[in-house]
Structure 1
Amino acid sequence: MKKVFGFIIVSALALWGCSSDYTVLESSDSVILTADSSVKRFGDTITFTVRDNNGIEHTNDAVFYVDGTAIEGNKLTSAVVSTHNVKATYYDLTSDNVEVSFGDGTELNFRKRVLIEDYTGTWCGYCPRVAYAIDLVHGQSDDAVTVAIHRPSSDMLSIVYDPYNFDASELEATLNIPSYPKGFLNRKVLWTSPEPNNIAQAIALTQGANPKLGLALKPIVNGNNLTLDVSAQFGADFSGLKLVVYVLENGLLYEQHNYTSYFDGVDVLENYTHNHVLRACLTPILGEAVPDSETKLYGIYTKTFNTTLPANISNAANVEFVAFLVGADGKAINVRKAAAGDAQDFEML
């Protein structure tokens, strides 16, 4: 293949005569075509860039071909939903083809999951009823994400003392149901009691139209240090979204009072295994606002948390992470959980 060379000629006139220095730039064996996005909304513009194998940009000197036809400049738009093959030439070098699309979002849907927030307490004798219902839900669906919010007191002298108490009073104030137990689906929908007789209510929220946003988590735990990437992708325009991120712990052993017929009707349940226990919230519990500019069709929003594991974690190996986005009405639109070391992709359908 013929190579493309660039020459910089520097001439200097010295006292004793004329001399010239020549610097030969590295040769370009190939060119690489990239697009600022592989898919955009129809009517928007995709911009292309060409660089050689040395990383030097040649966009202004390249010719771009869309579906075999040369275009003016390095930008492409379409007024309709469409897909195109694009290549670029720079002198006698030709890039690989790049496929780009213009869409309307109808093709972008995500797996639908339901958030179950269980307001519970080790002192609460009727709370095992909800725990039992959660076990039934998980037995029928892999699309439920559970958070056990233990309430309401950290005072060891209180009759409602719970060693795992988490102050969720700000969130509970929005629900206006002070008693326990209570389960809420997608944050705002009261799970009808008795919950074990109404697991269909929870499972139904994993069915039907798929949400137009999906989540992917990447938690890395190194000793006591935590790096968590939470990403969201959008199949429609959204506004007024808030992100909530929880740190949970599984496998906590502590007695559980039980005044129900579930779990063999035993009171007290000694060394009961408490799972999905809320230990920390990395955002405000009502959510952290996501800029509207980041929640448009085909956009991807990523928030990175760099922190330490909560001091109340008993065993870092049992930690899991939950992230969800709530709309302006406070309801969770979609939710995802991950264990340390997971590197999730978006669950596109």
Structure 2
Amino acid sequence: MTMKKNIILLFIAFAFCGCSTDYTVLKSVEGVVLTADSSIKITGETVTFTVKDNNNNDVTGEADFSVNGSPIEGNTLTSSETGDFKIKAVIGTVSDTITVHYHDGSETNFVKRVLIEDYTGTWCGYCPRVAYGIELAKQQSDKVVAVSIHRPSSNVSSSVYDPYNYDTSELENTLGAEGYPKGFLNRKTQWTFPEPENIAQVIGLTQGNNPKMGLALETSVSGSTMNVNVNVKFSSNFSNLKLVVYVLENGLIYDQHNYTTYYDGVDLLEDFHHNHVLRAVLTPLLGEAIDSSETVVNNVYTKSFSVPVPANIANAANIEFVAFVIDANGNAVNVREAFPNVSQDFEEL
């Protein structure tokens, strides 16, 4: 019995060893995951699909795709029609269905930014109040775009001399507010005094309904030349719009009078850092008209500038560009800032 039992055990062991040499683990295709690079597209744009297995391996090339039940070639879809398109992928098993929505451009929204124009002066002891308010607003939101407009005299003998003075009388005459400082939001709304205690007024203008217009800038500064392309995209039809483009400078150092309790209540604020200082306007100050044929759904309007670096710029590395579009009443609809040598995308939502 013992020998017979041993023979049986050897046979079983051989059988198992023999099978193991031919056994292959098959790749699982259960639970394949289908994704699209975007769930919302404008007609004419292409959406690309990807399929991955449970181990995050890309198996797109092995999959077959269908749209609304009909097979398609490849893993992309382009549609000239609006509506919802239901997509599935098959690779040994069927994926969950995903939906891609195509629209004509009118459903696109853009990030909403707020413009602050701060009318100030190095001689103006109460002006640090608005500057401090801008710092607080920027701490709360990255959607705040500030412009510091220094006023009112370039006469070195004047008691209101400011080395960074830029004459904006044409604009100020439309505001109905005298004296300095004065802060205006989106060009025509006065920032309520005291500005540092009314940050909510600024942040509130970044909230609510998003605009149907967005901006994207392409900028470069090379040697003594600045190149700026301002691109404006529309997801609604507009009329009577104007474009304004500013050149600013950061990091300017000059003493600032301070009669306020802000900045520790110190007067003088020696070697004060003046940022976002207006140095040039590439368009008319009150805006350059955009033809109504350009301000229509899904169109991109482009305005290009190639101009010398302004002579009053102390350091070209500190240049900042700000572009915004104003409506027929002079209110800023949306705004964007950019530093040199960048290429921005539209901030579509």
Distance 1:84 1:222, change over 3 A: farther
Residue 204, structure 1, aligned to residue 208, structure 2: no
Contact 1:82 1:103 in 2 (8 A): no
**CA distance in structure 1 between the partners assigned to 2:158 and 2:86 by the alignment:** 67
Distance 1:137 1:84, change over 3 A: same
For residues 243-301 of structure 1, what are the alpha-carbon distances to aligned partners after superposition, in whole Å with 9 as ceiling and x for unaligned?
00000000000010000010111111110000000000000010000010001000000
Contact 1:84 1:101 in 2 (8 A): no
Other-structure match for 1:322 = 322
1:248 aligned counterpart, secondary structure: strand
TM-aligned CA deviation for residue 82 of structure 1: 6.4
Other-structure match for 1:32 = none
For residues 198-254 of structure 1, what are the alpha-carbon distances to aligned partners after superposition, in whole Å with 9 as ceiling and x for unaligned?
010000001111110000001111001111000000010010010000000000000
Identity in percent = 59
**CA distance in structure 2 between the partners assigned to 1:84 and 1:295 by the alignment:** 33
Other-structure match for 1:226 = 226
Other-structure match for 1:150 = 150
**CA distance in structure 2 between the partners assigned to 1:131 and 1:312 by the alignment:** 22
**CA distance in structure 1 between the partners assigned to 2:216 and 2:138 by the alignment:** 21
Contact 2:184 2:191 in 1 (8 A): yes
**CA distance in structure 2 between the partners assigned to 1:340 and 1:192 by the alignment:** 33
**CA distance in structure 1 between the partners assigned to 2:147 and 2:122 by the alignment:** 15
Residue 103, structure 1, aligned to residue 104, structure 2: yes
> What amino acid sits opposite 1:177 in the alignment?
A
Other-structure match for 2:54 = none
More helix by share: 2
1:126 aligned counterpart, secondary structure: coil
TM-aligned CA deviation for residue 103 of structure 1: 2.1
Other-structure match for 2:134 = 134
Residue 267, structure 1, aligned to residue 267, structure 2: yes
1:111 aligned counterpart, secondary structure: coil
**CA distance in structure 2 between the partners assigned to 1:209 and 1:100 by the alignment:** 21
TM-aligned CA deviation for residue 77 of structure 1: 7.0
**CA distance in structure 2 between the partners assigned to 1:146 and 1:328 by the alignment:** 22
TM-aligned CA deviation for residue 176 of structure 1: 1.4
TM-aligned CA deviation for residue 81 of structure 1: 4.8
**CA distance in structure 1 between the partners assigned to 2:295 and 2:71 by the alignment:** 34
Contact 2:104 2:298 in 1 (8 A): no
For residues 29-55 of structure 1, what are the alpha-carbon distances to aligned partners after superposition, in whole Å with 9 as ceiling and x for unaligned?
xxxxxxxxx846xxxxx8xxxxxxxxx
Distance 1:282 1:338, change over 3 A: same
> What amino acid sits opposite 1:196 in the alignment?
P
1:132 aligned counterpart, secondary structure: helix
TM-score by length of 1: 0.73
Contact 1:81 1:104 in 2 (8 A): no
Distance 1:104 1:301, change over 3 A: closer
Other-structure match for 2:342 = 342
Equivalent residue runs for 1:43-82 within 5 Å: 81=83
**CA distance in structure 1 between the partners assigned to 2:302 and 2:223 by the alignment:** 24
TM-aligned CA deviation for residue 102 of structure 1: 4.6
Other-structure match for 2:187 = 187
> What amino acid sits opposite 1:141 in the alignment?
S
> What amino acid sits opposite 2:294 in the alignment?
E
Contact 1:83 1:102 in 2 (8 A): no
TM-aligned CA deviation for residue 109 of structure 1: 0.4
> What amino acid sits opposite 1:150 in the alignment?
H
Structure 2: state its 5+ residue gaps: 1-40, 45-69, 73-78, 88-99
**CA distance in structure 2 between the partners assigned to 1:104 and 1:222 by the alignment:** 36
**CA distance in structure 1 between the partners assigned to 2:85 and 2:346 by the alignment:** 22
More strand by share: 1
1:292 aligned counterpart, secondary structure: coil
TM-aligned CA deviation for residue 68 of structure 1: 8.6
TM-score by length of 2: 0.73
TM-aligned CA deviation for residue 118 of structure 1: 0.2
Distance 1:163 1:100, change over 3 A: same
**CA distance in structure 2 between the partners assigned to 1:245 and 1:341 by the alignment:** 16
TM-aligned CA deviation for residue 329 of structure 1: 1.0
TM-aligned CA deviation for residue 197 of structure 1: 0.6
For residues 154-207 of structure 1, what are the alpha-carbon distances to aligned partners after superposition, in whole Å with 9 as ceiling and x for unaligned?
011111100000010000000011211100000000000000110100000011
Contact 1:256 1:270 in 2 (8 A): yes
Distance 1:83 1:214, change over 3 A: farther
Other-structure match for 2:287 = 287
Other-structure match for 1:159 = 159
**CA distance in structure 2 between the partners assigned to 1:168 and 1:320 by the alignment:** 19
**CA distance in structure 2 between the partners assigned to 1:346 and 1:183 by the alignment:** 28
Equivalent residue runs for 1:238-249 within 5 Å: 238-249=238-249
Equivalent residue runs for 1:109-120 within 5 Å: 109-120=109-120
Other-structure match for 2:298 = 298
**CA distance in structure 2 between the partners assigned to 1:281 and 1:83 by the alignment:** 47
**CA distance in structure 2 between the partners assigned to 1:230 and 1:239 by the alignment:** 18
Q: Which of these two proteins has the greater Rg computed from alpha carbons?
A: 2
**CA distance in structure 1 between the partners assigned to 2:80 and 2:309 by the alignment:** 46
Other-structure match for 1:254 = 254
